[in-house]
Structure 1
Amino acid sequence: LTEINEFLRAGRADLKDAKKARQRYRETVKKTLSPQDYEEVKERLAKESIQGQLVFKHRSKKWVIEQEALEGKLANFSNEIKELKEIRRTKSNALQREIFNQYVFLNALGQQQVLSDCFPDFDLRHPPSGSGDCAAPKLLQFAYNNELEPVCMGEFWWGAAPVKEVRKHGYFYPSCASRCRPILGHMLQGLDVEENPLLNYGKDKPMPIVYEDEDLVVVDKPAGLLSVPGVEIEDSALTRIKNLYPKASGAILLHRLDMSTSGLLMFTLNPKANKRMQRQFIKRQVEKTYIAEVVGEIKEEEGTILLPLAPDYFDLPRQMVCQENGKPSKTIWKVLHREKGISRLALKPVTGRTHQLRVHCAHPDGLGLPMIGDELYGVIGKRLHLHAHELIFQHPTSKERITLTAPIPF
């Protein structure tokens, strides 16, 4: 089939080249021939064109017939492969379900549920490998099997950290979101469990307006408030801005801050301003400075961290360092103050990856020092000591260079 396509391509190319050659010849002889002779040349060249097309059509006829036959066979093979893949997918799903159904989990009410039923989208996306083998489900299962009542439980990391992840020996970490959360949703039923504090953590927290005009509004987002609504949490900076500015149009959100991060967050109030500010963010013309406090005193005064980051799909929203598939990430840092084992830093993210500053500080190939209160990469505290302190940008309409700051709350 490849040879046929190449033959037909070469034949069509020859026809085009011959046409161009005739055109050049006509233009050349027109200057020297009489009108009558020139008309005879044009007639002869027209006959040559028709003859060339007829010859190509005759020679390619059998190739076209063979091409159509081969393409028909190829289509049949492709359909067979598609059907076999679908059969394999169906059998694989059935086998996966059979394997996962060997995992039966109890809860405090004595109810049983197989692993596959803990994941509502099982047929579309299988649970991550290792689901059901983590410590929390095993400990709860042991308690229920032995008629024990769980009172409290915490999980901590023991031993050396994986190369890609941020883990520290002896530090407590929440259960992994992808593997354990769906299972624990069943296993904790019947226990007196505290309400998730994050569901109402940002509620009633004030969000001061730092800058406002007909194009922009910049707020000082409090720690604990989402930038955009979540699956279970409606209250967010975006929701509040839409309520405050009901006439705002277009995509008003320009960037985001983590729920745990406080500080400057910018919104636009019309499409033209949004487009111009988006261009500045994409071209990295907006200068952002964060203030953070890390556990430990850094010897150096300043530096640059280059660590590629990728999502940890087994434990979202955590991110990990991945040299193979991670996106390039760059952070410039400078020590502002050291006191009693704490270092205060100014961090300038050149790129804007999820959790970039938190991972770059905590990972051993970065600073190796987690931020105070970092529940994902360090030790949980009253709040994460990370604050978006300064924004420098060009106003989308006046072109004025604007510098905004928000007071550091820690």
Structure 2
Amino acid sequence: MLDGMLGIAALAAILAPAWVVTHAPAMLPQESRADLQHGARARVLPLAELPTVEPIRFQDMTPDEARAFNAGIPFAGGPNPASRGFRFAGSEEDRARASDCLAAAVLYEAGDDPEGQRAVAQVVLNRVRHPAFPKTVCGVVFQGSERSTGCQFTFTCDGALKRWYADPYWERARKVADAALAGAVYKPVGHATHYHTEWVVPYWSSSLDKITAVHTHLFFRWTGWWGTPPAFRFSATGTEPRVTQLATHFDAHKLPEALAAEAQAVAMQKAMALPESALRASVDDPDTFLIHVDPKDAATFPLLAERACGARPYCKFMGWTDARALPASARNALPPQQLASMSFSYLRDRSRNLERALWNCTEFERPKPQCMRRTPQPIAAPTPVAVAEDGPAPLSGVRRKPAANPPAAAAAPIASTAS
């Protein structure tokens, strides 16, 4: 019996380790194990060590697994103070760029959901104020967009911008963006700098404080001092960069060269659309055009002149923005006042290889080589001073002390009347 018992014990000593080895639970990747340990949170960074902003990367989970995991992360306790109002300080062009970028963020991140859009806008502006992020709205929204993956906001690098929303969606998103840039605050997200939808799990989600949920989005802030109001001490620079991904649709993000080319194309279309009756030459000089021009088209006056002159080897084109100053005839030389009021002139003389377009630079701001030479206006001769017979007349404009005993004025005759 003793031998039998010893044999069973020996067999168990062999089989038990074998069973443990063959039935051990599957090992998770190192990063997954760290994230799934809810109690083992990332260390709280001291004030001297700025948090690292990592590109967003997701755990490999199904949507249902992600929802279960996210539900297991508790909300942080303690106060959740609201952020202070954001006031954009910059030029109108910079504000337009900031509005474009923020509108794109709220629309592509939250869809056509006003509350979700306000929450996203608040996170973007929180980041602008935090030292770990760029100091511009467009810089925050498009941070990392040059990478195919790993950007801060996924719509900037996953091709989502190719699916453009209709204008009404943009109008609603821009209202949310403009309100946020003017000081509107969405209080529930406090000082959140991160968020994600409930069906994904970023690697950082367990290392930050989960503070609130807005519909299907969960919002997080950094642990420790870096998630408190004093950390959000920076202001935006007010100088917003151009974003090439938005240049196709928004003028504020287009390069000056592109805007100039577009303006020229529009002007060409406008010039070609003008009826021939608006471009008739003067009745007394078929090579001269006296035209009333629109001041909004100043940059494209040469295109209008070229169309009017056509193939003429010699041609003059003169334009006035004030229709009242338009000469009635080109036969006589224009008086100085009419020359001074001229807004644009074009001269072509192919016999001298000359073609020149000039603007009235008191009316339009242009480089000096493109400005008309201004002729000084003649100054009227002074009116001769009449001289009295008994001496010079008193100087005009000089007040004199009255005489002590002024001469008595001659009495006027009294007219007689018949009664």
- TM-score w.r.t. the length of structure 2 is 0.21
RCO comparison, higher one (Cα < 8 Å, 6+) = 2
The structure carrying a bigger strand percent of its residues is 1
Higher-Rg structure is 2
The structure carrying a bigger helix percent of its residues is 2
